[in-house]
Structure 1
Amino acid sequence: MGERQRKVHGIMVCLPFQGHLNPFVSLALKLASKGFAITFVHLEFLYRKLRDAHHANETDVDFFSGARELGLDIRFTTMADCFPLEFDRDANFPEYWETMARDFPALADEFVGNVVSSEPDMIHFLVTDTIHNWPAAVARKYNLVNVSLWTQPALVYCLAYHWDLLEQNGHFPCKDDVEEEIKYVPGVESINTKDLMHYLKESQFGSVPTRMMRLVFEQAKTADFVLQNTVEELEPQTLSALHKYLPNYAIGPLNFSKNLPTNTVTKSLWSESDCTDWLESKPPASVLYVSFGSFLHTNKQVLEELAYGLVLSEVDFVWVIRRGILGHGETSLLPTGFQDAVRERGLILAWCDQIKVLSNPAVGGFLTHCGWNSTLESMWSGVPMICYPFEHDQPCNRKLVVDDWENGVNLCEDYGSLDREQVAHKIKSFMNEGVSGKNAGRVRQVMQNAVEIDGSSERNFDRFVKDLEAKIHAQN
């Protein structure tokens, strides 16, 4: 069999978090739809969490069963990480990622090696999350083309890519209590130091996230291709600058890619509540949706001030408060009497289908932590945002939403503690007076145009596929 007749097979490994899982599943379907064979690798503990959340058996949580019925060559499998299944990874986050950074590369090496040796008639390539620290070495060892998927905005990638430049200019580690404008990073016209990722800050120096991300971006520069889950028209300057350093393709928003096999299997790691009936009892654009995402923790002061602020605002709202948001062992999340105070105008949920809620006509705003998935979903739905970022990429995302795209407002002027009176004023003016969101429709149209057949993201994806095939066959 000639080289060009051999099936090309992608081995895909994402990070074990909801915000990474969603775009990875969409990318797997896009690649399979282009004729590639795909093996999608899930960590065993996450697979069990998914199955338990939906009281499902093994066949019920295969993301790709529908795609296979349509003839796509896409497999779903699991592998172990460094801990037993019963180990609480969320409650022991630093220990978990310290160990993963040290020990998981060997497991990944063994897993990929077994896949390659078991399918000798295929040409293999690797697709992994940029935040993994092992793909460069494994790709070299097995002579695999190395594709990196970045699940945050290009702005964050660009800043981390130029980590050494920040260090040379005294902005790594960046002083927590000093605000300065940075205007020397290629592709970034200007950014205030308060909007940098938390792992670049002085208070995080030496922490697990800082050490991991430094290592990750030292190795990321060796990737053969970088896929960006963003839209070319939204970050043109940054993407153009990055393209001078590496093959870089804006193919987002992946979760809204068109012409893919319908995925009827939920990817949610939590059991979802349906609030459609409640929303449909409310007037158009009258409800504020509140959620701080699938991963980060906050503190009781934030929840209490936000709760009292919602009471004082007199605005209808849906508030998602997932289990564990205050850390483990904390059971009392809201002030006594809060739910009685809001009665019919407030709905508290443990989890929901966020896209379904945001696309409901009753929802007129989103109070968000500015995680990138949440940001993309809100913009896609044409819902303006009240931004309250926590850490990681979220301050950068806030800058894009509020300062660059004018598609939202800040909940407060710094990232510190909340005041209920200020929260109430911001929510009331935002929902009742249309303080922001003037560009929500424009941004939504830009995103929707990008995923059309002739849109920028689809053109970029087709260009990536062509370049990937050429690279694979040249290397094999």
Structure 2
Amino acid sequence: METLVTTNENNPHVVFIPFPAQSHIKCMLKLAKLLHHKGVHITFVNTEFTHNRFINSGGPHCLDGAPGFKFETIPDGLTTDPDQTTQELNEIREALLTNCLGPFVELVASHETSVTCIISDGFMPFATYAAEKLGVPIMQFWTVAACAFMGFYIAPDLLEKKLIPLQDETCLTNGYLNTSIDWIPGLEGFNLKDLPSYTRATDVNNTSLKYCVESAKTARKISHIIIHTFDALESNVIKAIEPMFPNVYTVGPLQLLLNQIENEEETKKLDFNGYSLWKEESECIKWLNSKEPNSVVYVNFGSITMMSLEQLMELGWGLANSNQYFLWIIRPDMVIGESAILPKEFEDIIKKRGFIAGWCSQEEVLNHPSVGGFLTHCGWGSIIESLAAGVPMICCPFYGDQPTNCRQMCKEWEAGMEIGNEVKRNEVERVVAELMVGDKGSQMRNKVKEWKKRMEIATSPDGSSSLSVEKLANEISMLSRK
């Protein structure tokens, strides 16, 4: 990738502000690093709670930054205790809408060097109002798939058509979610159940529903939309999105773009340990090193998803009974209201076939030759990383964009198979075995290798994603000269 400009005080200056969740921050940091490589000065803004967690996991200097790249914080009004690892999603959403506009306006206005533009997470709607107040250009970065972006974007339309909120909870089980909504551009063949989980709300004042509607409304004010996908994967949806905005940038997978500059001196200076909110346990890599190629199923439900102890145990026994090797990530806060303590008899099985860790470097694990499958919650960060590594998936969606991602993985991209989040051991056992040693798993493995090749083409120097990042960097440069 060609560097746009040299680093000096006249460089473009972009303020990034991600939604305070692991996958969003990780994704936005990667784009920030790419733009910094092209000569853009970066101010990366986290909430105080998130910043403290990074320091707690990565050490006091993990966010020191580098010339032209610095980290700053704003308060979100929630706890700053780094030992608390989880904030409830609705609590975060309420805090962001209520507490962050003023501090963010103040922070952006306080910079001695002028701010060229703000690149805001699509789920940080207050940033759009801050940009309007300050007269600063703003772009939105949606760290989700294009299909999920469209699913969130049409939230106000679903309200207007009175398709949501649901009349009551019986609509969750009486077939109402099978209502066809194939009038959405790019999402032909979709039913209501295929959209993000805000559509399950039964109250118009539901926090998730309100937050998604607010985010969609601010997206409709934006002229520059960045999406973490690539053209070949979601061509129909992207073609539907492009007429809606003057500028659309498809920039994924970001890690493959970063890999092309990883050996350059400037990138080494940015080797901050700022991607993980938990301490990564390297012992699991040593365990993987002892296993045969494609023999291990990797199990991780992301940084926020929680489940009951019963669900955890059903999952565990299903993994054990599948007779496959498995690497299972169990966060300390993964079980709702309880500690994730496994019974003694299960620990004995673990010693033979499994390895449990609290957190890991996911991309390193997915790219390890021993890993042959991924049982995932279907967060977009996990899916795009798995596709990039050529690893097929078992999809167990819970909320957010996960149902949409699952639908596309299993029906459109043919690189995954779905298992319900009810999590029954017999079903887990059957699907894990099918993924790892069955014909269906073999077919998916071939399909995901095709997607991996297409990703590599998209991120090659003349590929669609590389050209999109180049276009984005040039647009930022032009804004700085206005």
Look up the match of 2:4: none
Cα displacement (A) at 1:332: 4.0
TM-score by length of 1: 0.90
- For the pair 1:28 / 2:32, whether they are aligned, the reply is yes
Look up the match of 1:384: 392
* Partner Cα distance (2:299, 2:121) in 1: 28
Return the match for 2:125 from 112, 133, 143.
Answer: 133
User: Does the Cα contact within 8 Å between 1:145 and 1:224 map onto a contact in 2?
Assistant: no
Flag the 1:307–1:223 CA change in 2: closer, same or farther, 3 A: same
Flag the 1:446–1:202 CA change in 2: closer, same or farther, 3 A: same
Residue identity opposite 1:52 in structure 2: N
The DSSP-based 3-state class of the residue aligned with 1:109 is: helix
Return the match for 1:98 from 83, 94, 97.
Answer: 94
User: Does the Cα contact within 8 Å between 1:156 and 1:396 map onto a contact in 2?
Assistant: yes
* Partner Cα distance (2:128, 2:93) in 1: 19
* Partner Cα distance (1:281, 1:466) in 2: 47
Look up the match of 2:292: 283
The DSSP-based 3-state class of the residue aligned with 1:61 is: coil
Look up the match of 2:426: 421
Look up the match of 1:355: 363
- For the pair 1:220 / 2:256, whether they are aligned, the reply is no
- For the pair 1:148 / 2:140, whether they are aligned, the reply is yes
Look up the match of 1:162: 154
Alignment root-mean-square deviation, CA:
2.0
Look up the match of 1:9: 13
Which of 378-387 and 29-38 deviates more?
Answer: 29-38
Q: Which runs of 4+ in 1 moved over 6 A?
A: none
The DSSP-based 3-state class of the residue aligned with 1:60 is: coil
Please list the CA deviations of residues 146-185 of structure 1 after superposition, one character each: whole Å capped at 9, or x if unmatched. Answer: 0111001111111222223333444322542321232100
- For the pair 1:60 / 2:56, whether they are aligned, the reply is no
Residue identity opposite 2:261 in structure 1: N
Cα displacement (A) at 1:343: 2.1
- For the pair 1:439 / 2:447, whether they are aligned, the reply is yes
User: Does the Cα contact within 8 Å between 2:387 and 2:451 map onto a contact in 1?
Assistant: yes
* Partner Cα distance (1:94, 1:130) in 2: 16
* Partner Cα distance (1:163, 1:43) in 2: 27
Which residues in structure 2 correspond to 1:64-213 (within 5 Å)? 64-65=65-66, 68=67, 73-86=68-81, 88=84, 90-115=86-111, 118-119=112-113, 122-174=114-166, 175-177=171-173, 178=176, 179-203=178-202, 205-213=204-212
* Partner Cα distance (1:259, 1:10) in 2: 20
Flag the 1:92–1:371 CA change in 2: closer, same or farther, 3 A: closer
Residue identity opposite 1:448 in structure 2: E
Look up the match of 1:253: 253
Which ranges in structure 1 are unaligned for 5 or more consecutive residues? none
* Partner Cα distance (2:45, 2:428) in 1: 42
Cα displacement (A) at 1:6: 4.6
Cα displacement (A) at 1:92: 4.7
Cα displacement (A) at 1:89: 7.5
* Partner Cα distance (1:355, 1:424) in 2: 25
Flag the 1:171–1:237 CA change in 2: closer, same or farther, 3 A: same
Aligned length, in residue pairs? 453
User: Does the Cα contact within 8 Å between 1:14 and 1:129 map onto a contact in 2?
Assistant: yes
Cα displacement (A) at 1:123: 5.0
The DSSP-based 3-state class of the residue aligned with 1:337 is: helix
Flag the 1:282–1:89 CA change in 2: closer, same or farther, 3 A: closer
- For the pair 1:398 / 2:406, whether they are aligned, the reply is yes
Residue identity opposite 1:28 in structure 2: A
